[in-house]
C-alpha cells in the first residue's frame, strides 16, 4: 500500500483537479490519500502561477520535500498545475530530484506516470493539452458533502494583459452538456444539494448536446435546476464581456440560482481597463448590474480588484474607489499587481512603488470591509435559509452553514442537520460571518 500526499495551491479549479487526482489514485487499490506528509510515499504538488514569485514558492516547497527524499530515496515527487505547465523541463534543471511533471490537462495520466517512474527509475513529463480528455477519467463520486464544484469548461480566450491562464490552461473549451448533467445527477444521488459551476469564464460556455446542438450557459443553468435534489446553484467565475441578457433572464425565472454574484471588474478606471485589455468599460459593467437589480432587487455583488497596475495614477485609483461605492460591492478579492513573466503587462513600466501599492490596497480593502459589514447588518434578525455543511472549526459544539448570499453562519444544532437546509434567525453580526439561532 502506497500513501499519497497532495498539496494544492490556487483557485477552485486547482482544488477540483486535486480531487480528481485523489479519486483516480484511490480507485487503484495500491494507493491511499494521507494528510501526513512524512507518511507519504508519493508527494504531489498542484501549483498556481497567478501570484508574484509563484515559481520561487514552488521551489521552496520542493526544497522542503527534498529533505524527506534524502531520508527515503524511494519517495516519488510530482509537480503539476499551472507552474508545471509554464516551466516544464526547467523544473528538472533546478530540482533534479523531481520525478514527474504533469500539466493542467494531463492529470489523468498521473497513475501511469507513477508506474513508469517506479518501473524505469527515470523522471517523466507530460504537459500537453489534450483538450477535455481528463474528464473521460472521472469516477462516480463516493459519499460527498452537501456542496460541490463542477468544472464545466477549461481555459480562456481573453488574453488579458496581466493574466497567465490562457498560457497555462489553454484556450476555452466546453465540456459536453450531457456529461455535466450526468456528473451532477450522480452527485445529487450522493447527497449534494448545492452546485457551483466552475470555469475560468463560465458565461462563455458553449457545450455540445447529445444531438450536436450548442447549449449556452443560460440553458445549462436551467437544465441543472431541473435535476432532482439540487436546490441551490452558484457559478464562478465570469467575465463582464460575455454577461449577456439571456443570463440575466435566468436570474428572473430560476429561483435556484442564488442572489449573489461574483463578477470581476479589476479596476474602476476605463484607462486601466483598456491597458488590462479587459474589452469593456465601467459603464458596461454598471449596465449589467442595473439589469440584474431590475430582476433581482436583493442581489449582492462581489468582485476582483488589482491595485497598482502599471500606469495607474492616483486619479485612476480614486476612480476605482468611487466605482466601488457606486456599485456598493459586498465583498472582494483584491491584490497588489504582480508581474507575471510572459504576459504583455510584464513589459509595461511599473510606475507605482510598493509602498504606494500597499497604501492603496489597504484603503480599498478597508472600504470593501465597511460595505461588507453594512450588508451584514441588514441581515440582523432576518430569517435565512442555510445549507448546513458541517461542524464548526472553532467550536466542535456548533455547526456551520452558508446563506444564499454566501455568508458563513454558526449555530447550535444536531448532527443530523448536516447536508440539509434549515431556517435560522440571525442574532449576531461579524464582518465575514454570522451567528444564528434555530427557528
Dist. CA 409–CA 362, nearest whole Å: 26
For residue 55, give Cα distances in angstroms to 91, 95, 121, 311.
9, 12, 26, 25
Find out whether 82 is annotated in a ligand binding site.
Answer: yes
Q: What are phi and psi of 79, to 5 degrees?
A: -120, 125
Distance CA 254, CA 280 (A): 27
Task: Please state, in angstroms and rounded to a whole number, the distance separating the CA atoms of residues 411 and 98.
Answer: 46
According to the annotation, is 177 in a ligand binding site?
Answer: no
3-state helix, strand, coil in the chain (%, to 5): 40, 25, 35
Q: Which helix (H) or strand (E) holds 184?
A: helix 177-189
Nearest 5°: phi and psi at 186? -65, -40
Strands 433-438 and 421-429: antiparallel
DSSP category for residue 330 = S
Of 103, 104, 96, 100, the C-alpha closest to 112 is: 100
Question: Going by C-beta distance under 8 Å and a sequence separation of 6 or more, which residues neighbour residue 408?
Answer: 400, 401, 402, 432, 433, 434
The sign of the torsion formed by the CA atoms of 20, 193, 434, 236 equals: positive
Instruction: Quote the DSSP letter at residue 265.
Output: -
Helices and strands (DSSP H and E) totals, the chain: 13, 21
Tell whether residue 163 is among the known ligand binding residues: yes
Please tell me whether 156 is known to bind a ligand. Answer: yes
Pairing of strands 260-262, 300-307: parallel
Do 434 and 407 touch, CB atoms closer than 8 A?
A: yes
In angstroms, rounded to a whole number, what is the distance separating the alpha carbons of residues 159 and 345? 11
Closest to 260 in 3D by CA, of 355, 331, 325: 331
Binding residues: 11, 48, 82, 156, 160, 163
Binding residues for [4Fe-4S] cluster: 11, 48, 82, 156, 160, 163
Amino acid at each position: 500500500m502506497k500513501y499519497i500526499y497532495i498539496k494544492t495551491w490556487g483557485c477552485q479549479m486547482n482544488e477540483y483537479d486535486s480531487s480528481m487526482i485523489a479519486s483516480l489514485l484511490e480507485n487503484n487499490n495500491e494507493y491511499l490519500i494521507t494528510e501526513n506528509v512524512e507518511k507519504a510515499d508519493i508527494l504531489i504538488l498542484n501549483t498556481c502561477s497567478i501570484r508574484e514569485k509563484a515559481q520561487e514558492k514552488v521551489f521552496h516547497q520542493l526544497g522542503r520535500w527534498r529533505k524527506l527524499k534524502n531520508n527515503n530515496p524511494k519517495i516519488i515527487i510530482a509537480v503539476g498545475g499551472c507552474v508545471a505547465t509554464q516551466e516544464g523541463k526547467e523544473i528538472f534543471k533546478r530540482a533534479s530530484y523531481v520525478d514527474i511533471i504533469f500539466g493542467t490537462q494531463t492529470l489523468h495520466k498521473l497513475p501511469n506516470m507513477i508506474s513508469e517512474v517506479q518501473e524505469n527509475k527515470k523522471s517523466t513529463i507530460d504537459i500537453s493539452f489534450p483538450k477535455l480528455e481528463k474528464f473521460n477519467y472521472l469516477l462516480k463520486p463516493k459519499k460527498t458533502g452537501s456542496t460541490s464544484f463542477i468544472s464545466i469548461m477549461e481555459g480562456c480566450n481573453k488574453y488579458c494583459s496581466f493574466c497567465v491562464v490562457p498560457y497555462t490552461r489553454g484556450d476555452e473549451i466546453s465540456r459536453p452538456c450531457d456529461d455535466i448533467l450526468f456528473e451532477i445527477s450522480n452527485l445529487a444521488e450522493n447527497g449534494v444539494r448545492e452546485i457551483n459551476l466552475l470555469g475560468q469564464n463560465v458565461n462563455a460556455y458553449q457545450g455540445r448536446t447529445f444531438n450536436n446542438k450548442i447549449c449556452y450557459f443560460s440553458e445549462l443553468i436551467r437544465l441543472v435546476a431541473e435535476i432532482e435534489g439540487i436546490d441551490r446553484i452558484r457559478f464562478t467565475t465570469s467575465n463582464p464581456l460575455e454577461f449577456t441578457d439571456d443570463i440575466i433572464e435566468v436570474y428572473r425565472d430560476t429561483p435556484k440560482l442564488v442572489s449573489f454574484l461574483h463578477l470581476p471588474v479589476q479596476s474602476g478606471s476605463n484607462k486601466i481597463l483598456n491597458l488590462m485589455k479587459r474589452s469593456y468599460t465601467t459603464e458596461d459593467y454598471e449596465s449589467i448590474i442595473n439589469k440584474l437589480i431590475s430582476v433581482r432587487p436583493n442581489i449582492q455583488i462581489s468582485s476582483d480588484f488589482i491595485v497598482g497596475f502599471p500606469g495607474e495614477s492616483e486619479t485612476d485609483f480614486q476612480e476605482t474607489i468611487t466605482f466601488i461605492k457606486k456599485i456598493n460591492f459586498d465583498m472582494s478579492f483584491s491584490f497588489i499587481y504582480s508581474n507575471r513573466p510572459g504576459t504583455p503587462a510584464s513589459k509595461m513600466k511599473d510606475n507605482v512603488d510598493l509602498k504606494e501599492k500597499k497604501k492603496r490596497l489597504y484603503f480599498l480593502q478597508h472600504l470593501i470591509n465597511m460595505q461588507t459589514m453594512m450588508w451584514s447588518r441588514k441581515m440582523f434578525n432576518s430569517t435565512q435559509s442555510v445549507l448546513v455543511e458541517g461542524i464548526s472549526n472553532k467550536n466542535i459544539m456548533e455547526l456551520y452553514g452558508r446563506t444564499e448570499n454566501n455568508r458563513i453562519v454558526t449555530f447550535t444544532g444536531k448532527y443530523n442537520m448536516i447536508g440539509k437546509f434549515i431556517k435560522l434567525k440571525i442574532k449576531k453580526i461579524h464582518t465575514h460571518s454570522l451567528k444564528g439561532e434555530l427557528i
